[in-house]
Homo-oligomer: A and B are copies of this chain.
Amino acid sequence: MSQFENVTVTKKANVYFEGKVTSRKVTFADGSVKTLGIMLPGEYEFGTEAAELMEILAGDLEILLPEATDWQKVVGGESFNVPANASFKLKIYQVTDYCCSYLAD
């Protein structure tokens, strides 16, 4: 699925880390939400509220998932899950284009 149809897009971007991570919210007819975002090279830590599915559309990064001790390589075309109410770390090596789905309980 290369595009999302019949959705609502919030114009204003979400801006984190001085703009090195940005995203925009996409709301679907069923009320579910995803964000489409960009991460530039750097190291970041994020906290979740809902559980997340992070789909990497393009990029080269490593992730440290909650309670994990080893960093895990992720590239474009791959995805990973993050549990709710947790924090995870990312090391971005190349511009990373992502789609984050917020999962219902």
Contact = CB atoms under 8 A, between A and B. Distances in A.
A103 interface: no
Interface string A9-47: 111110100111010101000000000101010000000
Nearest to A12: B57
How many identical chains are in the complex? Answer: 2
A3 interface: yes
Given A3-B10, A6-B6, A22-B22, 11 more contacts: A2-B10, A4-B8, A7-B8, A9-B26, A11-B99, A13-B57, A15-B95, A15-B97, A22-B38, A38-B38, A40-B40
Interface of A: 1-13, 15, 18-20, 22, 24, 26, 36, 38, 40, 57-58, 95, 97, 99
